[in-house]
Amino acid sequence: MWSIKNKLSTRLMNICIASLCKAKQLEKAEGLIVDGIRIGVQPDVVTYNTVIAAYCRVVGIDPGYSILHRMKEAGINPDVITYNSLIAGATRYCMLSRCLDLFDEMLEMSILPDIWSYNTLMHCFFKLRKPDEAYRVFQDIILKDISLHPATFNILMNGLCKNGYTENALMLFRSLKRHGFTPQLVTYNILIHGLCKSGRGKTAKEFLNELVEAGHIPNAITYTTVMKCCFRCRQFEEGLKIFAEMRRKGYTYDAFAYCTVASMLLKTGRMNEANEYLGYIITNGFDLDTVSFNNIINLYCKEGQLDNAYKLLYEAEKKGLESDKYTHTILIDGLCRTGNFKEAQQHLDCMSMMGFDSNLVALNSFINGLCKAGHLDHALWMFESMDAKDSFTYSTIVHGLCKAGRFRAASKLLLSCVRGGMRILKSNKCVVISGLRSSGFSHEARKVQSKIRLAKILHY
């Protein structure tokens, strides 16, 4: 029988550590290194690089950097991959000075940066909205004659587009193509997205045709980007044609594209078509996330289609999608919009029975609806019965009191809010003070103004 030591190896230990890191079990990964050393399996540079990358990705740059010291104490020298992980960690948190320090540290240790070192630094500059400095990094890559990677061009194009230099990205793309650069599908997607964001839908559609001619097959990202652009530009039928092509080619495998189309149809009053698409999502068992679901419910409520909203809620919950407190807040707001306050109150009571930890947002929505409909006394009763209030609660009631001409009551509530350290809309403060003056309470208006100033000094 072989001993345990013979059965194990550094490579096997590294595979186990990588699995633990992927599962974010970093303490266990470090414990495995200790156990390995104890039984004679020595870690190598790959072992430590894996742990450093995980710490930088999951926890932060400092814990990652602390592993570097232990690595050196174990007699293992860091390599370019070690520093690339640390630079990536610093970039994730937009720590430019830390990135530059790590670059200097690499050079001091005679570790030459590779294309990924430069790519990450370029990405950091773009993230911090420093496109000129990012482009200089690209020029450095060219001058140092480092072998370029397709990702380099993608980072460059994406950074230029996101910083508002879509035209420059387009010119660079054309120039690179003339010099033999073969763009990937992701490169086309980046440019199409940039063109759509800058309102150049026509050029984006031309690019969609160009990428097909170049031998690429558009994916869900390509189609969805162009489709959304068409909808934003009110080219609804053109957008629906893109969606039809997307379906024909089998790219509508999730609910996102369907939700995008349904939203457009709801906004343009095409209720029956919207219901068909939403029904398709539910009956075909697509994974519909809560955010998308809430957006659709909200659109139904805004259009006064409460029956459809409740029907969608019922169908979705039957399929296992759990509604959250925002779902119910949207429905309460929808009921208030239609003047159905009795049912809105019942829905609030149901929320309490369902065990939601907080229904402050829903209560605020209900009070806002009551104030807008002129049911101020009911709103004040609800306000007094609330256990917790925030600045929105106070702002809503103050605004409602002012609208009803009850400026003295509004001023008392305003001061109570300000003394409690809560922020209230500046417009509400101005309405209270000007309302007191116009009602003949100039002295009180001055007192309220001075008390607001005093509260600001005490709290700030």
Contact 303, 264 (CB under 8 A): no
pLDDT at 116: 95
- Rounded to whole angstroms, the Cα distance separating 414 from 424 reads 8
pLDDT at 44: 93
pLDDT at 456: 65
- Rounded to whole angstroms, the Cα distance separating 385 from 383 reads 6
pLDDT by residue for the chain (460 residues), tens only, comes to 334 444 568 999 999 999 999 999 999 999 999 988 888 889 999 999 999 999 999 999 999 999 988 898 889 999 999 999 999 999 999 999 999 999 999 999 999 999 999 999 999 999 999 999 999 999 999 898 888 888 999 999 999 999 999 999 999 899 988 888 888 999 999 999 999 988 888 888 888 888 888 888 888 888 889 999 999 888 899 989 989 988 888 877 667 788 888 888 888 888 888 888 877 877 776 766 777 778 888 888 887 888 888 888 887 777 777 778 888 889 999 999 888 888 988 888 888 787 776 678 889 989 999 999 989 999 999 988 888 888 888 889 988 988 888 988 888 888 888 777 777 778 878 888 888 888 888 888 888 888 877 766 655 4
Q: How many CB atoms lie within 10 A of CB 322?
A: 9
The C-alpha angle 362, 278, 321, rounded to 5 degrees, equals 55
Q: Which residue in this structure is represented by tokens 């001409």?
A: 405
- Burial grade of 385 (CB within 10 A; 0-12, 13-18, 19 or more): exposed
- Rounded to whole angstroms, the Cα distance separating 432 from 435 reads 5
H helices within 128-219, ranges in order?
Answer: 131-143, 150-162, 166-178, 185-197, 201-213
Contact 34, 63 (CB under 8 A): no
- Rounded to whole angstroms, the Cα distance separating 367 from 350 reads 17
pLDDT at 141: 92
- Rounded to whole angstroms, the Cα distance separating 404 from 383 reads 16
Alpha carbon separation from 11 to 27, 30, 199, 259, 263 (Å, rounded): 19, 16, 52, 46, 51
Residue type, 132: D
Total count of residues recorded for the chain = 460
b or e along 154-189 (b: 16 or more beta carbons within 10 Å of the residue's beta carbon)? bbbbbbbbbbebbebbbebbeebeeeeeebebbbbb
The C-alpha angle 224, 228, 234, rounded to 5 degrees, equals 150
- Rounded to whole angstroms, the Cα distance separating 87 from 104 reads 11
Q: Which of 190, 202, 195 is nearest to 156 (CA)?
A: 190
Alpha carbon separation from 415 to 427, 436, 449 (Å, rounded): 15, 14, 10
Phi-psi region of 404 (alpha: psi -120 to 50; beta: other; left: phi over 0): alpha
What domains does the chain contain, in order, with CATH numbers?
Answer: 7-113 (1.25.40.10)
Long-range contact set of residues 337-341: C-beta below 8 Å, sequence gap at least 24: 337/301, 337/302, 337/304, 337/369, 338/304, 338/306, 339/373, 340/306, 341/366, 341/369, 341/370, 341/373, 341/375, 341/378
Contact 185, 222 (CB under 8 A): yes
Cα dihedral: 368, 370, 375, 376 (round 10): -30
pTM: 0.67
pLDDT at 459: 52
